[in-house]
Amino acid sequence: MKLTSKIFNSHPSSDGDFFLGMKRILGFKPKSLEIYKTAFLHRSMNKKDNEGNPVNYERLEFLGDSMLGTIISKHLYNEVPEGDEGYLTKMRSKVVSRKHLNELGKDLGLLKYVESRIPKAHFGDNIHGNVFEALVGAIYLDRGYNYCEKFINERVIEPYVDIEQLEGKVISYKSLVIEWCQKEKKPFNYNVYEDTGKDELKHFAVKLTIGDRMLAKARATSKKKAEEKASKRAYFALQSRIDNK
């Protein structure tokens, strides 16, 4: 796919500002500015290249996700020689969790560079992580693996990856609770139903029952979030029993 400046119709002055912004974030000079512009181009802009292919950050996001996983895997492989496959996989999941990637995107202030017809205030948190992954993909295409690894080391691994802290970090309370229930052969049920409250946004409520006891309740704007909130409350109610297993 060829990218040309005709796609963007950008002005030299804005190019200069964008170049300086990218240089500050990356820690080195970008070669192809157009690749980085694509990393911040939302699909709502409906841009296409000369062959009529859509141009937005989603393909770069796919590439960046793979590069990020590879480089984090290499780091963990080298740093934790005693870790087996299951341990390394779990640790990598903690580093590249959606929540963590969203935090990285926010810390770098990436949202200010996003081109979109959708008001930025209307985006959810995931836009930050999506664009961060797209940026990693752009670095790989622009400067290759070594620069990509350098960026991830400086922006992700050195400031955020602490093996001991990660070992104690919970990715999903729901997974933790379900795993414990299965080990203890305790029946469990997430009873999720639409909340008919007066909020403008539709909410879902959940009651988590373990055995014959209703252990936790929660409500949120999605079923997944409601289940996770209820699971977290259940975990802390059962923490001494779960952690001793």
Catalytic residues: 65, 133
- How many CA atoms lie within 13 Å of 113's alpha carbon, on the beta-carbon side? 27
Both tokens of residue 90?
């779990």
User: How much helix, strand and coil, in percent to the nearest 5, is found in the chain?
Assistant: 60, 10, 25
The C-alpha atoms of residue 83 and residue 76 are separated, in whole angstroms, by: 8
Give every CB contact of residue 169 below 8 A, 6+ residues apart in sequence. Answer: 94
The C-alpha atoms of residue 138 and residue 127 are separated, in whole angstroms, by: 16
Phi, psi of 8 (to 5 degrees): -100, -25
| Sign for the pseudo-dihedral over CA of 15, 123, 230, 208 | negative
Q: How far is CA 195 from CA 106, 110, 201, 208, 215, in A?
A: 31, 35, 10, 15, 19
For residue 208, how many other CB atoms are within 10 A of its CB? Answer: 25
Binding residues for Mg(2+): 61, 130, 133
